[in-house]
Chain A
């Protein structure tokens, strides 16, 4: 039966697979995409399938995301089977569906390709265009949503730019950045012993760890936030890479939780110091407690919004609770912090903390005990040349004083921040040894 099917009406875009002749061609008609697939060659004719596809299907196939087998077998539209002689004349065509096709017309299950198109190829730009869309869609699937609403009816609940920036975005960003730095230090202070490396590593990572804004709605400000796991693969250290993929989700689960139970509150208090809790939770609590605004969260686009758990005043108060330092002599977490002294011509001194981060700590500081120190504590009779090097070190959040005198080690551990008392005790201990051994 002669067919009147006319292939010449289709525009040929490119051959996707070519082996001595076109095997799989991309055609277009009225802006609709088709694949023209040579499935069989007999002694006198070729059999083709003509199937309508989405441009996305072609993108996914040529980038190795989908097999040709699935593109054909999942096709829900009519497939035209065309028989053409070796002169290019169509002998016959009939309609079919994927379900009814000869199973040998399909390629193998693992019929994936990774096309490397030339710059002139149609697919060169197509891949670029769809890569960025694909990236966004992947992120959106896993996004959670925050809604920041104004309670002020003056502008019909529509927020201003400064309102959003000052009352929401800045505080969210501060809380999240602090969480990331604190958690990184907790996880990796043993893995990266050198504090300067610890510091520089987290500072480099911070921008890569940020949530990606994948959805946006104006008016009452709603944003969809997602974690970009794909980009994290560029982090070389495997342990840090694994941590980086989870840290933002952990932040959301702990800090932006819709309902913080009593047990979870206690866990927060156990896992974070008071200072850490202030840095992480206080900015969000300030957002939640602001009477002019409302902050809500939902775990995906389809759900309904709920308030965040930190809006509960009782929970917020417990998390930020300050202890009365005068009543209880509690153990302090101490650290050594580096300051730089700037001295001008008039010998005016000014001390400046190097940078306002969590990681400006130093491992050790040094002090030399001399004759004058002994005199100061009324410890008389030592040699005027005496010099004893004291090392102040941070060990497990306490300060230890160490020295070596006459080949003997002396140690004093401070339970508080009274360095002067520690130095006095060290001086007295060395003096006792000195006087006992000089007799």
Chain B
């Protein structure tokens, strides 16, 4: 399975680590008015992250409630203002829990997984 943008992070060792097996419903914080740009890894935008494996993935959360908490803790100047979810299977890419927050996942989609169509927007968000 070839991961999207993998040419950009192949140079980083053990990136990404092994995937957690099984299908999982995961939630992402998005910009409702700009879905296209809601799934671009930050490493593209910020040079300081180009050698950071996690910055080539996408942050996802285990539940709508948890994702909503994160959204409400963003400053009002931050542009993320909505949630979207998808059912991520083993063939959709690599996903694993990351960081010290057990509810946080990093997702590296496969080339065939189109985030903008696979993720569905959640109503009654921020």
User: How far is B104's CA from A88's CA once the two chains are assembled, in angstroms?
Assistant: 24
- Interface membership of B117, Cβ < 8 A: no
Kindly list chain A residues whose C-beta atoms are within 8 Å of the C-beta of B45.
Answer: 86
B interface residue count range (under 10 / 10 to 19 / 20 to 34 / 35 or more): 20 to 34
CB contacts under 8 Å to B, within A208-224, are none
Query: Quick check: B100 and A118 within 8 Å, CB to CB?
Result: yes
Return chain A residues, CB-CB under 8 Å to B29.
Answer: 19
A104 contacts B102, C-beta separation under 8 Å: no
Give, as a whole number of angstroms, the nearest-CB distance from A214 to chain B: 32
Q: Find out whether the CB atom of A19 lies under 8 angstroms from the CB atom of B69.
A: no
> Which residue of A17, A38, A47, A117 is within 8 Å of B102 (Cβ)?
A117
Q: Is A24 an interface residue (CB 8 A)?
A: yes
Measured CB to CB, the nearest residue on chain B to A110 is B72
CB contact under 8 A between A87 and B100, given known A104-B77, A113-B70? no
CA distance A424 to B72 in the complex (A): 82
The reply on A120 being an interface residue by CB < 8 A is yes
A106 to B75, CA, bound (A): 5
Instruction: Give A18 to B54 CA distance when docked, in angstroms.
Output: 10
Question: Which residues of chain A have C-beta atoms less than 8 A from B41's C-beta?
Answer: 20
* Known contacts A23-B73, A110-B72: A118-B55 contact under CB 8 Å: no
Is the pair B100, A37 in contact by a Cβ cutoff of 8 Å?
Answer: no
- Cα A88 to Cα B99 in complex, Å, equals 21
Number of A interface residues in the complex (CB < 8 A): 40
Whether B11 sits at the interface, judged by CB under 8 Å, is: no
A122 touches B72 (CB 8 A): no
Q: How far is the CA of A23 from the CA of B29 in the complex (A)?
A: 13
Contact residues of A between 79 and 113, Cβ < 8 Å to B: 86-88, 102-108, 110-113
B75 touches A87 (CB 8 A): no
B48 touches A23 (CB 8 A): no
A118-B76 in contact (CB<8A): no
Q: Is B86 at the interface (CB under 8 A from chain A)?
A: no
Are the CB atoms of B75 and A37 closer together than 8 Å? yes
Verify if B35 is at the interface (C-beta below 8 Å from A).
Answer: no
Residues in chain A near residue B1, CB distance under 8 A? none
Known: A18-B99, A115-B101. A107 touches B76 (CB 8 A): yes
A68 touches B58 (CB 8 A): no
- Are B59 and A20 closer than 8 Å at their CB atoms? yes
A318 at the interface (CB under 8 A from B): no
Instruction: Report yes or no: A104 in contact with B69, Cβ–Cβ below 8 A.
Output: no
Pick the contact of A107 from B46, B59, B74, B104 — CB < 8 Å?
B74
Known contacts A20-B41, A118-B102; is A40 also within 8 Å of B59 by CB?
no
Compute how far the CA of A17 lies from the CA of B71 in the bound complex, rounded to whole angstroms: 10
Q: Does B2 contact A (CB under 8 A)?
A: no
Inter-chain contact B49/A17, CB cutoff 8 Å? no
Complex contacts, B76 vs chain A, CB 8 Å:
103-108
Question: How close is B60's CB to chain A, nearest CB, in angstroms?
Answer: 10
- Complex formed: what's the CA distance from A111 to B72 in Å? 5
Which A residues lie within 8 Å of B55 (CB)?
Answer: 20-21
Given contacts A18-B59, A118-B102, contact A41 B69 (CB under 8 A): no
Binary A-proximity of B64-103 (CB < 8 A = 1, otherwise 0): 0000011011111111100000000000000000011111
State whether the Cβ of B121 lies closer than 8 Å to any Cβ in chain A.
no
Residues of A within 8 A of B46 (CB): 21, 46, 86
Chain B residues with CB under 8 Å of A108's CB are: 72-73, 76, 126
Known contacts: A86-B45, A104-B76. The answer to whether A19 contacts B70 by CB under 8 A is yes
Interface residue from B74, B77, B103, B126 paired with A23 (Cβ < 8 Å): B74
23 contacts between A and B (CB under 8 A): A14-B99, A14-B100, A15-B100, A17-B70, A18-B59, A18-B104, A19-B29, A20-B55, A23-B73, A39-B75, A86-B46, A86-B47, A104-B77, A106-B75, A107-B72, A107-B74, A108-B73, A115-B101, A117-B100, A117-B102, A120-B100, A121-B101, A123-B100
9 additional contacts, CB 8 Å, given A39-B78, A108-B73, A113-B69?
A18-B101, A19-B59, A19-B70, A23-B70, A23-B73, A87-B48, A105-B75, A112-B72, A116-B101
